[in-house]
Structure 1
Amino acid sequence: MRSVLFAAIFAIASFAAASAADAKGCIKGAIVGGVAGHYAGHHGVLGAAAGCLYGRHHAKMQMRQQQQPAQPTPPNRQQDRL
């Protein structure tokens, strides 16, 4: 139980210290990672840290995909041959 408490404190502290863009995904990842780490061998804080990093990475990737313009579809090569 103490590890989950530490994970929650870590998540709150990370949220307060990071900017809004950096914190996106961190809280959710820290909570999930903290709980998983707690049950996987009482490593809740380590799980929270890893979950936060993964959550931030995943949020950045989604943000980059949303910012990219849609790729035009290439023309059909068979129509060019006719």
Structure 2
Amino acid sequence: MKARPIRIALVAITLVFGAAGTANAAGCIKGAVVGGVAGHYAGHHAVVGAVGGCMVGRHLAKQRAQEQAAQAQ
């Protein structure tokens, strides 16, 4: 009975990390760790938290890079 949610989580992680690639990994690892811990404490949803944290971390890293590029010009 627990095998299906685990499979779904593994597929989601594979899709996120497979689509991210190495060039887009900035912020993903840190966000995934923070999101996973937060998700675990918010009702044992560590995988969902890690995926969400990865996306948020990547978004924030992209914004930070754009701001730094704008300041350099």
CA distance in 1, matches of 2:36, 2:71: 36
Corresponding position of 1:67: 69
Corresponding position of 1:3: none
Which residues in structure 2 correspond to 1:24-43 (within 5 Å)? 24-43=26-45
The alignment-based identity, stated in percent, is 58
Q: Deviations over 1:20-48 (max 9, x none)?
A: 44100000000110011001100000000
Is the radius of gyration larger for structure 1 or structure 2?
A: 1
* Unmatched segments (≥5 aa) in structure 1: 1-5, 72-82
- What amino acid does structure 2 have at the position aligned with 1:19? G
Q: Which runs of 4+ in 1 moved over 6 A?
A: none
Aligned-residue Cα RMSD (Å) equals: 2.6
CA distance in 2, matches of 1:36, 1:56: 17
CA distance in 2, matches of 1:42, 1:62: 31
In 2 relative to 1, CA 36–69 (structure 1 residues): closer, same or farther, beyond 3 Å?
closer
Corresponding position of 2:57: 55
Give, in angstroms, the shift of residue 70 of structure 1: 6.2
TM-score by length of 1: 0.62
TM-score by length of 2: 0.69
* Unmatched segments (≥5 aa) in structure 2: 1-8
